[in-house]
Amino acid sequence: MYKIYIKDTLLVLIDSKDLQKTKVMMGNELVAKYSGKKKYLLNFIDKAEKDSKCNCIIIYSDDLMKLWKDFKSLFKIVKAAGGLVLNKKREGLLIFRRGFWDMPKGKMEKGEKKMEAAVREVEEETGARNIVVEGKLATTYHTYKYKINKRVLKKTYWYLMHTTTSNLEPQAEEDIELAEWKNLDKFLNNKDIEVHENIRELISYYVNAVRV
């Protein structure tokens, strides 16, 4: 299964044999079988970009690898890395940028290793130091447009980290207005907070499946 966020619409690409259990899990609104034509995929991508009422689209195929390959061919692939950083209280380090709460992340530089990039981005965007990586957390996908009809599929490698840093300094040149420690349970329960759905899902995954 591949889960991609297009704005706040979740697009799921899945093998036909796993369709029924996924439909129950996702509570989907739209389900379709892949015809094998890339133009078919573009129709759903365009719908997700324009229709805010469509929460979930599931596209299934007997050949998931072909479906995934065809989907990726419609985008420029950008790799990024970032971190869910915790302090001694196990609060999470979040940033506020362009109207949304987010987690520190950024594009990997040429020749840079994933974990090194994740630590560098956290330090640059938040001013946090003494970062210790606890392990891998998850890999996420989301899309965005640049120029007029150019699309990017960003693959982000996330790591779970901790630090003793208390002083934070948001990176203003990257449009980061705030860098703050947040109680993650309260953050998830506050439905009025503006946060991208892929970030909300990632925090929820940590709180409900990873945290001990």
Q: By C-alpha distance, which of 71, 206, 193, 94 is closest to 143?
A: 71
DSSP symbol at 23: H
29-42 pLDDT, tens per residue? 799 999 999 999 99
Is residue 54 scored above 70 in pLDDT?
Answer: yes
Instruction: Name the pLDDT band for 1 (thresholds 50, 70, 90).
Output: very high
pLDDT at 170: 97
pLDDT at 24: 59
Q: Which two tokens stand for residue 24?
A: 């129950």
* pTM (global) more than 0.95: no
Q: How many CA within 13 A on the CB side of residue 159?
A: 23
